């Protein structure tokens, strides 16, 4: 039995839920050609380079190769809520499907999308040589935080994406606090809005070498691995993310199905009430570069457990 508010005096508005909403709008894409039920394909092509020219005639022969790389959606989710007619009446309408939908979207759907994106990118970066580190939170200070972030932004081939203005960084709140206090730079940390689907968020951000650095305030979505068996929560072997860097050119959050259904009493067989159903099928993918079929556009720094001495 749900815990409902059978109030004698009622306000038609729900209390405002203060949460950080979508952080991943730059990475969301629907421009995908689906070739079968839940897989899309990326074509990777590479060629050999020049060879010395001979003035005695003839042409050097080169080769090219083309590889099909499939990406399959696996994050298939659904939920339904039945709101009994009596509950709607006796709570003066607060237990309505509309209010349930608003609450579910803000507290579950959008945060889970953030968590899925951050964790999938982190797991991919952990497997890459030179794009992964672990740091205790205490190792970040106001005297070194700027230098540490600059080093991470220059790892491997990230400079390619930085030069094209196609790199975004995310940091936990403690690191953004240190950036505000940094002794290494003249800084400007301000609020900005990211709009998606008519909604927007305000978060602190700054810029380092042209790369926007955003604060992840609700850090329950900022882990390397999640348990999605009931909602989402950090997995027992998940680690807190300190810093995540990704490029919208290559990292994609791909929604294929986002179905919401609402049925009035009498139009379904689930019970005498209003029925709300929600299904989401999506995935997170990081494409290889177009030169040598390697991933070089991610970086993650995970929190390393502090050692204790006895």
pLDDT for residue 206: 82
For residue 185, how many other CB atoms are within 10 A of its CB?
13
Instruction: Provide the pLDDT for residue 259.
Output: 85
Give me the DSSP letters along 60-84. Answer: ----EEEEEEEEE--EEEEEEEEEE
pLDDT for res 84: 85
pLDDT of residue 108: 92
- Burial of residue 263, with CB atoms counted within 10 A of its CB: 0-12 exposed, 13-18 middle, 19 or more buried: middle
Concatenated DSSP letters of 208-250: ETTEEEEEE-SGGG-BS-EE-SSS-EE-TT--BEEEEEE-TTT
Q: Would you call 115 helix, strand, or coil by DSSP?
A: helix
pLDDT for the residue 48: 82
Q: Name the stretches of the chain with pLDDT < 70.
A: 1-20, 31-38, 42, 89-94, 185-203, 307-310
Residue 154, both tokens: 């220059």
Q: The pTM is what?
A: 0.82
Enter the DSSP assignment of 130. T
Rounded to the nearest 10°, the torsion over CA 184, 189, 195, 201 is 110
- 68, β-bridge pairs: 43
């Amino acid at each position: 039995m749900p815990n409902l508010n059978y109030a004698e005096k009622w306000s038609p508005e729900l209390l405002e839920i203060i949460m950080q909403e979508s952080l991943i709008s730059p990475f969301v894409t629907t421009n995908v050609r689906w070739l079968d039920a839940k897989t899309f394909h990326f074509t990777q092509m590479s060629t050999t380079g020049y060879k010395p020219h001979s003035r005695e005639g003839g042409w050097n022969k080169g080769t090219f190769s083309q590889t099909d790389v499939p990406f399959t959606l696996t994050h298939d989710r659904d939920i339904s809520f039945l709101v009994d007619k009596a509950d709607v009446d006796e709570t003066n309408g607060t237990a309505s499907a509309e209010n349930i939908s608003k609450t579910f979207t803000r507290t579950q759907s959008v945060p889970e999308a953030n968590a899925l994106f951050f964790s999938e990118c982190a797991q991919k970066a952990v497997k890459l040589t030179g794009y992964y580190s672990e740091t205790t939170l205490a190792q970040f200070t106001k005297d070194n935080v700027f230098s540490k972030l600059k080093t991470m932004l220059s790892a491997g081939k990230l400079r390619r994406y930085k030069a094209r203005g196609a790199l975004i960084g995310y940091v936990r709140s403690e690191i953004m606090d240190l950036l505000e206090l940094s002794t290494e730079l003249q800084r400007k940390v301000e609020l900005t809005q990211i709009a998606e689907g008519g909604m927007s968020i305000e978060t602190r951000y700054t810029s380092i070498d042209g790369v926007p650095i955003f604060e992840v305030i609700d850090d329950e979505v900022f882990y390397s691995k999640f348990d999605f068996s009931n909602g989402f929560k950090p997995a027992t072997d998940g680690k807190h993310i300190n810093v995540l860097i990704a490029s919208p050119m290559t990292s994609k959050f791909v929604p294929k199905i986002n179905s919401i259904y609402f049925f009035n009493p009498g139009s379904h067989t689930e019970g005498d009430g209003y029925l709300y159903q929600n299904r989401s099928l999506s995935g997170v993918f990081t494409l290889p570069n177009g030169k040598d079929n390697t991933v070089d556009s991610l970086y993650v720094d995970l929190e390393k457990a502090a050692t204790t001495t006895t």
